[in-house]
A and B are shown apart, each in its own frame.
Chain A
Amino acid sequence: MAEPPRTTALSRLCWLLLPTVLALCVCELALALLGLGAAEQQVGRGFSRDVSYLLPDPQRAGAWRTQMFQGEEPEISIAPKGDARRVVLFGGSNTARFPGGNLRQFLDAAGPDRWEVVNLGRSGYGSARVLVLFEQALALEPDLVVIYSGHNEFVELGFEMQIEREWGALERPLVTAASKLRTFHALVAAFETGATAPAGRSPVAPERSAFEHDKFRSFQYAQTLRRLQAYEANLDRMCALAHERGVPVLLGTLFSNDLSAPFVSNIDPALGAEARRLAIEGLMRVHAAWPARWKEILPREPPVVLNLGDWEFGDGSGGAAPALRALPEPLAARGPLWADPSKWRARTHELMSAWARFHAGPTPDEREALPKLASELEGVLARVPDHPLAHYLLGLCRLASGEPERARESLELAARYDRAPLKASSLTNEIVRRVAGRHPGVALFDFDELVRARSPDRIVGFELMQDHCHAHADTYLMLMRDLAEIIAREWAASSGARAAAGGRR
C-alpha cells in the first residue's frame, strides 16, 4: 500500500510562495514579450528614495539620463563627463527656468575653464524632493553644485498631504513596491480605460491653487515654522553631503515679488473670539473703503496667480503695456523686463493696468482716505500682530502714501507671517544665510539682494516678476550673468584652496 505524501516544512513553504511568484514571473515575462506594462509613472512622485531619478544610459558608457518628468517634459540626457567643469543646478520651477545654455556661455566667457551646466530643477520640487534628487545626482560627479530652493516648501507640503490623503501609511510602501512590476502598470492601464476622469484630474490649471489654499486655511503659524525647520534640515543635509564628497556648494537666497499678496491669513484661536471679531470687522471696513480704482489689486480668496501662459501664450488683445514704476539704473532706460505685450492674455493686461493705476499715485480723494485705512489696519494689527493680510494692505497704503521704507517693512512682515507662503520671505533667507554660514565649502549667492537692488525703492514688483516667485525671462537672463561671475569666482577660490592644501601635503 502506498504511503500518503509526507508534507515537510520546506515543501509547505514552497507551496506557500512558489505558485504566486511563478504566476507573477509568467505575467511579467508575457507582458515584457508583448511590450506592455512599462512603468509610465513613478508613484513615489519624487518623494521616494526607492525610485531612481537618474539612470546610467545603457547606450553610452558614463552617460546618464533622468527619469523625473513623467512625460510632461523631455527627460535630460547627460553626456559622459569630459574636460569641462560640471555645474549641477538644483531647485524648483525657478531653477528649471534658469537658462542653462546662457549660463554656460557666460561661464565660458568668464575665465579659462570650459563649463557644462546640468539643470535638474523641477516644477513644484521643494527641499525634501530636491534632497532625494541631490543624493542621487552626486553620482554625476559635479565640480560644483548650485542650490536655489525655498519657494516650494508649502507647495510640496500640499503634495505630501494629498498623497497621504490618497494613500494610507501602509499602502504607500506597497504601491511603491508594486510600481516596479509590469503587471501593476498593465492593471492600472486596464482600470484607467474604464475610469471616468475625477474632478481633480485635469491638466495644469491655475484654479488648482484654490485646492491648495483650502488645505492650509486653518494652518497655524507654529506649523509654518515647523515646516521651515524641516527646510533648514534639508539644506543642512545637502551641504553636508556635498562637503563629504568635496564638492563646493553655492547656496542662493531667494527673490520674491513683494507686491504679491500673502497666500494664507488666519487668526490664532488663542487670541479669543472677541479679538477675532473686531479684527475681521476692521478688515471688512478696509475692504469696503478701499479706493475703487485699486480694487483689482486687492487679494482674492482663493488667490489669483498669473502663470507663464498668461505672459507668453495670449493674443495681446489687451493693447499696449501699461507703465509701472521706473527701474533704478542701469535698467532705467530699459523699463520692465517683461515679455512682449502682444503675447499677454487679457487678464495679465487687466492686472498690470490695475498696478499701473496704483503706482501712478492716489487722487486727492484717495490720498485723503489713506490715513484712515492705515489707522484701521494698525488697529487690526494691535489685536492680531501677525496677521499677514493686514500687514500687506498696510504696506500698500504706505506705498501709495509715498512711504516706501515703511511699506517695505510691512510687506516683509506680510510675507514672513504668511501661514503657507508660496514664495520665500526674509524668514527663508535668514535660514539660507544661517546654513551657508555654518558649512565649510558653502558660499552664498545673494539673488534676493541682486533683484532688490534693481527694483524701485528696493521693493520687488511686476517690473521684474511674473508672479509671486517667478521672474520674467529677461530677469533670469540678467541673473545668469551674475551667477556666472559668482560661480567663476568661487571656483577660482576653491581651486586655490585645494592647490594650497595639496602643496601643504
Chain B
Amino acid sequence: MIGSLLRSARAHLWWWLPPFVLTFALLAYLAWKQAHAASNPFTYDLG
C-alpha cells in the first residue's frame, strides 16, 4: 500500500510539490520578516 502511495505521489509530483514548497516558503518568509520587523508599535507610550 505504501509502495502504491509512493508511486502515486511520484506520478503526481508536479501537482503537490509546488504548493507544498510555496506554502512553507511563504510561511518562512513571513516569519523571517516578522522576526526582523523594525519595531513593534505597541512599545510606544505617547498617548
The 21 sampled A-B contact pairs (Cβ below 8 Å) are: A5-B8, A5-B11, A12-B12, A15-B15, A15-B16, A17-B19, A72-B42, A93-B45, A93-B47, A155-B47, A158-B41, A159-B44, A175-B33, A178-B27, A187-B27, A188-B31, A192-B35, A203-B43, A204-B44, A208-B44, A422-B47
Find out whether the CB atom of B47 lies under 8 angstroms from the CB atom of A163: no
CB of A19 within 8 Å of the partner chain? yes
**Chain A window 331-352, contacts with chain B (Cβ cutoff 8 Å), 1 for yes, 0 for no:** 0000000000000000000000
**Chain A window 36-74, contacts with chain B (Cβ cutoff 8 Å), 1 for yes, 0 for no:** 000001010110000000000000000000000010100
Q: Which residues of A contact B41 (CB under 8 A)?
A: 45, 124, 158-159, 162-163
CB of A495 within 8 Å of the partner chain? no
Closest A residue by C-beta to B29: A171
CB of A300 within 8 Å of the partner chain? no
Give, as a whole number of angstroms, the nearest-CB distance from B23 to chain A.
5
Give, as a whole number of angstroms, the nearest-CB distance from B45 to chain A.
5
Name the contact of B47 in the complex, choosing from A72, A124, A192 (C-beta under 8 A): A124
Find out whether the CB atom of A174 lies under 8 angstroms from the CB atom of B26: yes
Find out whether the CB atom of B36 lies under 8 angstroms from the CB atom of A200: no
Find out whether the CB atom of B46 lies under 8 angstroms from the CB atom of A155: yes
How many A residues are at the interface, by size bracket? 35 or more
Determine the main DSSP class of B at the interface with A: helix
Closest B residue by C-beta to A41: B40
Q: How far is the CA of A45 from the CA of B44 in the complex (A)?
A: 12
Closest B residue by C-beta to A72: B42
CB of A438 within 8 Å of the partner chain? no
Find out whether the CB atom of A181 lies under 8 angstroms from the CB atom of B16: no
Q: How far is the CA of A181 from the CA of B24 in the complex (A)?
A: 12
Q: Which residues of B contact A159 (CB under 8 A)?
A: 41, 44
Q: Which residues of B contact A41 (CB under 8 A)?
A: 40
Give, as a whole number of angstroms, the nearest-CB distance from B31 to chain A.
3
